[in-house]
């Protein structure tokens, strides 16, 4: 592999000059630029990115830490991030924390040790305090799907409360009065806020939140199914099940079918996130859109702007969920 040294020899200029054309510096004459380019071509020169990193103290790699690499959510996210980064010649180093605190910390250290220029984080197990502390370190950090007030310009999040509110408001508008709610684990910010929005909509319609028609799930499919079992056992009637995410909604649909109930005739269902399989379900799931792609893209742009000083881009931190009406909700006629 040819090095910059050979290029400089062949082109008859100094190392510095070669380096300058490599980095598109100003103050290089057109003439030497041409000579250098020609030499590079002739030698099939390819810059050694490791050497550049060492000398410049820039690795051009961005670490991405997520809970899991699989699942409908993270794939979309990664996809957007990678696309944005690659356009700028940067690359993504990925790692998973598996929702285990120590493992997530390890993941962060791993990425820092890898000399990532910045880190994008989308996880649940680490505390706000830890992340605040982390963000004081020398490696810039941005946080997805979470609002930490102390570092809010580095957070990209949706208004979960609003989403919860809109979902429930819509259901109420369809004539439903008896709503069951299957939440995510309430120690998670998003689960909590979505529930709050739900309660606000209820309140606004003078409906009261019924503890008996509430089940705390874990955001996974099975807990939707189990939740429905649990709710049905109370013998309290309900005509709609509000689920805090699509996975649980899909489980809830299964649960309802186990009990020979028709969706949406016997019970309407709404989800949250609008993951891509939401419209593979039957009936297609009405849900709240979570603009994960834009958010991920935005986080990448934040890094391009703040870490690599790319030309000004507009950065938006707060995103708005939107209702996606499909087939899983029907008007209530009772």
Partner DNA sequence: GACAAAACTGGAAGCGCTTCCATTTTGTCC
Partner DNA sequence: GGACAAAATGGAAGCGCTTCCAGTTTTGTC
Q: Is the peptide bond before 264 cis (omega within 30 degrees of 0)?
A: yes
Q: Which does 72 bind (CB under 5 to 8 A by kind): a second copy, DNA, none?
A: a second copy
Q: For the chain, what is the radius of gyration of the CA atoms?
A: 26
- Residue 222, interface with a second copy (CB under 8 A)? no
Which residues pair with residue 242 across a beta bridge? Answer: 181, 270
- Report whether 252 contacts 272 (CB < 8 A): no
Q: Which of 33, 177, 254, 305 binds a second copy (CB under 8 A)?
A: 254
Rounded to an integer, what distance in angstroms lies between the CA atom of residue 150 and that of residue 17? 45
Identity of the residue, 139 or 234, whose beta carbon is nearer to a second copy in the bound complex: 139
Q: Contact region for DNA (CB under 7 A) — 23-31, 180-188, 246-254, 319-327? A: 23-31
Tally of CA atoms within 13 A in the half-sphere of 223 that contains its CB: 18
- Residue 31, interface with DNA (CB under 7 A)? yes
- Residue 286, interface with DNA (CB under 7 A)? no
Write out the DSSP string of 282-304.
SSPPBEEE--HHHHHHHHHHHHH
- Residue 8, interface with a second copy (CB under 8 A)? no
Q: Which of 41, 280, 310, 316 binds a second copy (CB under 8 A)?
A: 280
Q: Which of 51, 186, 313, 325 binds DNA (CB under 7 A)?
A: 51
Q: Which does 211 bind (CB under 5 to 8 A by kind): a second copy, DNA, none?
A: none
- Residue 75, interface with a second copy (CB under 8 A)? yes
| Residue 314 burial (10 A CB sphere; 0-12, 13-18, 19+) | exposed
Of 305, 320, 318, 313, which is closest to residue 117 (Cα–Cα)?
Answer: 305
- Residue 69, interface with a second copy (CB under 8 A)? yes
Is residue 25 classed as helix, strand or coil in its secondary structure? coil
Of 293, 329, 294, which is closest to residue 315 (Cα–Cα)?
Answer: 294
Write the binding mask 24 to 53 for a second copy: x where contact by CB under 8 A, - elsewhere: ----------------------xxxxxx-x
Identity of the residue, 91 or 105, whose beta carbon is nearer to a second copy in the bound complex: 91
- Written as six digits, the tokens of 70 are 């699989």
Q: Which of 9, 43, 47, 88 binds DNA (CB under 7 A)?
A: 47
Q: Which does 83 bind (CB under 5 to 8 A by kind): a second copy, DNA, none?
A: a second copy
- Report whether 299 contacts 81 (CB < 8 A): yes
Tally of CA atoms within 13 A in the half-sphere of 225 that contains its CB: 9
Distances (CA, A) of 99 to 34, 56, 125, 127: 53, 34, 6, 12
Identity of the residue, 26 or 211, whose beta carbon is nearer to DNA in the bound complex: 26
Tally of CA atoms within 13 A in the half-sphere of 84 that contains its CB: 22
Binding to a second copy (CB under 8 A) within 106-125 occurs at 110, 112-115
Q: Which of 54, 69, 186, 325 binds DNA (CB under 7 A)?
A: 54
Q: Which of 9, 10, 13, 322 binds DNA (CB under 7 A)?
A: 13
Which residues of the shown chain bind a second copy in the complex (CB under 8 A)?
A: 46-51, 53-54, 59, 61, 68-72, 74-76, 78-79, 82-83, 86, 91-96, 110, 112-115, 221, 250, 253-254, 257, 276-277, 280-282
Binding site for DNA (CB under 7 A): 1, 3-5, 12-20, 22-23, 26-29, 31-32, 45, 47-48, 51-52, 54-57
């Amino acid at each position: 592999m040819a090095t910059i040294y050979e290029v400089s020899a062949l082109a008859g200029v100094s190392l510095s000059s070669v380096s300058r054309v490599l980095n598109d510096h100003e103050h290089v004459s057109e003439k030497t630029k041409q000579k250098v380019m020609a030499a590079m071509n002739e030698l099939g020169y390819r810059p050694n990115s490791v050497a550049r990193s060492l000398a410049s103290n820039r690795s051009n790699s961005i670490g991405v830490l997520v809970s899991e690499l699989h699942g409908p959510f993270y794939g979309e996210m990664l996809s957007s991030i990678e696309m944005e980064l690659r356009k700028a010649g940067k690359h993504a180093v990925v790692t998973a924390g598996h929702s285990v605190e120590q493992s997530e910390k390890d993941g962060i250290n791993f990425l820092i040790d890898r000399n990532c220029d910045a880190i994008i984080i989308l996880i649940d197990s680490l505390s706000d305090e830890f992340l605040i502390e982390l963000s004081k370190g020398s490696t810039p950090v941005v946080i997805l799907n979470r609002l930490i007030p102390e570092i809010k310009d580095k957070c990209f999040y949706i208004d979960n409360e609003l989403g919860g509110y809109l979902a429930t408001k819509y259901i109420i508008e369809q004539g439903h009065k008896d709503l069951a709610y299957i939440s995510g684990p309430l120690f998670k910010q998003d689960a909590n806020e979505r529930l709050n929005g739900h309660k606000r909509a209820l309140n606004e319609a003078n409906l009261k939140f019924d503890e008996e028609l509430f089940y705390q799930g874990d955001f996974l499919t099975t807990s939707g199914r189990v939740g429905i079992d649990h709710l049905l056992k109370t013998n309290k009637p309900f005509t709609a099940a509000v689920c805090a995410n699509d996975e649980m909604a899909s489980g809830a649909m299964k649960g309802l079918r186990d009990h020979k109930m028709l969706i949406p005739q016997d019970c309407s269902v709404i989800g949250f996130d609008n993951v891509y399989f939401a419209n593979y379900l039957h009936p297609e799931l009405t849900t709240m859109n979570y603009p994960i792609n834009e958010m991920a893209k935005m986080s990448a742009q934040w890094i391009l702007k703040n870490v690599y000083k790319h030309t000004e881009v507009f950065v938006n931190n707060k995103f708005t969920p939107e209702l996606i009406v499909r087939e899983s909700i029907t008007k209530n006629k009772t």
